[in-house]
C-alpha cells in the first residue's frame, strides 16, 4: 500500500522550486495562484533568500503550492490519486496540501485557507519572540518532563527519536544550554514562531472564521489526522481539526503508527521532501520511502507507484 505525505514548515530552502518551473504548465499554474493569493510564489520559490522564505506568511503558501504541483506530476486528478494511493497525510501545514490532494478542498480553496493561516500565525508569532528546536535522540519519558520543567511545549512528537520543542527564545536558549539526558543534539529550526502551542491561539479564531467560507467534501482517499493519528472520513471534521491543530501538538508518531497498521509498503513525500522520509526510514522498517525533492525523482516515484499502489481501474 502506498502512502502519500506532504511536509511542513522548515522544509523550504532558497530556490527549491526552480527546477519544477521547467516542467510544462507549472510556472503558469504558480503565476495564476500567485495572482489569487497576492503573493509571488514564483519569486519566493526561485529567487528569495533564506530569511524571506522563513516568513510564516510566505513559507506556508509556498509549501502547499509546491506540494500540489509536484503531486500533480504523478496524479493529475483527485480520481487518479484516489485510485492509486492508500492513505494520505501532511505534517502541520502539509495537512492543507493533503486536504486538497484527497479532495476535501479544491486547490484554490486550500491555498486561500493556507494564506490566511500563514498571515494569522505570523501575526500571533509577532506578539512574543518565540521559536522551535528539534531534539534528536532521548526517551520521551525523559525528554517530556525536561521540556515541562523549562516551560516548553512538545509541539511536534515526530517519532523515530525526534521531538520538537516550542516556546520563547529564552526557553529555547535554556534548552540548548541544558538538553535532556540521552538527547544527542538540540537543533533550532528555521521557523518564525512557537507553532502548535498556546502562542498560536489568536490564529485559531482567524482560521475558524476563514474556514466557514469553504464547503468541504469528504476525502476521496483515506486521510490521517495530525491530532491523534486517526483516520478522518468527514470533510467537515478534517477542516475542524485543521483549524484546532494550529495551537495543538502534531502527533506524527501516531500518524506513522497508523500507516503501519494499515499495511503501508511504500511512502512518497511530495516536494520539498526529505524530513518525513527520514523519519519513515527510522520508524517504518520494511516501508520503502522516497522524497520527491526535484523533477529528477519523478521516474523513481512512478516506479514505486507501479510496484506498490493499487492497480488503476
For residue 183, list its beta bridge partners: 137
Kindly state the cell numbers that stand for 67.
506540494
Catalytic residue among 34, 66, 70, 92: 92
Task: Answer whether 196's CB lies under 8 Å from 156's CB.
Answer: yes
Phi, psi of 64, deg, nearest 5: -65, -40
Strands 130-137 and 2-6 come out as unpaired
The Cα–Cα gap between 250 and 228 comes to 8
Q: At what angle do helices 56-74 and 94-101 cross, to 10 degrees?
A: 30
Catalytic residue among 196, 199, 225, 248: 196
The Cα–Cα gap between 98 and 68 comes to 9
Nearest to 106 by CA among 224, 213, 263, 253: 213
- Give residue 297's Cα distance to chain centre: 20
Phi, psi of 23, deg, nearest 5: -80, 145
Tell me whether residue 92 is one of the annotated catalytic residues: yes
Tell me whether residue 196 is one of the annotated catalytic residues: yes
The Cα–Cα gap between 125 and 27 comes to 31
Residue 55 burial by Cβ neighbours in a 10 Å radius (0-12, 13-18, 19+): middle
Kindly state the cell numbers that stand for 40.
509571488
The Cα–Cα gap between 285 and 161 comes to 14
The Cα–Cα gap between 46 and 178 comes to 38
Which residues are the active-site residues?
92, 196
Amino acid at each position: 500500500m502506498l502512502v502519500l505525505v506532504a511536509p511542513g514548515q522548515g522544509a523550504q530552502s532558497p530556490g527549491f522550486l526552480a527546477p519544477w518551473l521547467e516542467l510544462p504548465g507549472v510556472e503558469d499554474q504558480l503565476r495564476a495562484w500567485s495572482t489569487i493569493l497576492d503573493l509571488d510564489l514564483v519569486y519566493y520559490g526561485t529567487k528569495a533568500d533564506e530569511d524571506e522564505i522563513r516568513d510564516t506568511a510566505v513559507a506556508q503558501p509556498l509549501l502547499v503550492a509546491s506540494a500540489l504541483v509536484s503531486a500533480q506530476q504523478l496524479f493529475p486528478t483527485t480520481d487518479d490519486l484516489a485510485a492509486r494511493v492508500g492513505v494520505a497525510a501532511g505534517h502541520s501545514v502539509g495537512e492543507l496540501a493533503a486536504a486538497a490532494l484527497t479532495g476535501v478542498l479544491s486547490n484554490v480553496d486550500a491555498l486561500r485557507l493556507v494564506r490566511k493561516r500563514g498571515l494569522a500565525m505570523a501575526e500571533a508569532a509577532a506578539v512574543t519572540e518565540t521559536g522551535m528546536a528539534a531534539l534528536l535522540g532521548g526517551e520521551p519519558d525523559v525528554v517530556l518532563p525536561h521540556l515541562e520543567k523549562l516551560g516548553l511545549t512538545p509541539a511536534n512528537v515526530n517519532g523515530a527519536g525526534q521531538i520538537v520543542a516550542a516556546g520563547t527564545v529564552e526557553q529555547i536558549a535554556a534548552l540548548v544550554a541544558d538538553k535532556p539526558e540521552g538527547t544527542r543534539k538540540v537543533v533550532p529550526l528555521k521557523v518564525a514562531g512557537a507553532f502548535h502551542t498556546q502562542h498560536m491561539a489568536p490564529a485559531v479564531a482567524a482560521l475558524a472564521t476563514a474556514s466557514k467560507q469553504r464547503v468541504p467534501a469528504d476525502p476521496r482517499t483515506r486521510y490521517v489526522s495530525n491530532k491523534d493519528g486517526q483516520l478522518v472520513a468527514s470533510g467537515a471534521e478534517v477542516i475542524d481539526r485543521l483549524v484546532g491543530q494550529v495551537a495543538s501538538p502534531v502527533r506524527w508518531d501516531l500518524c506513522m503508527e497508523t500507516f503501519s497498521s494499515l499495511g503501508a509498503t511504500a511512502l512518497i513525500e511530495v516536494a520539498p521532501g526529505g524530513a518525513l522520509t527520514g523519519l519513515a526510514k527510522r520508524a517504518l522498517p520494511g516501508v520503502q520511502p522516497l522524497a520527491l525533492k526535484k523533477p529528477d525523482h519523478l521516474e523513481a516515484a512512478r516506479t514505486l507507484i507501479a510496484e506498490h499502489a493499487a492497480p488503476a481501474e
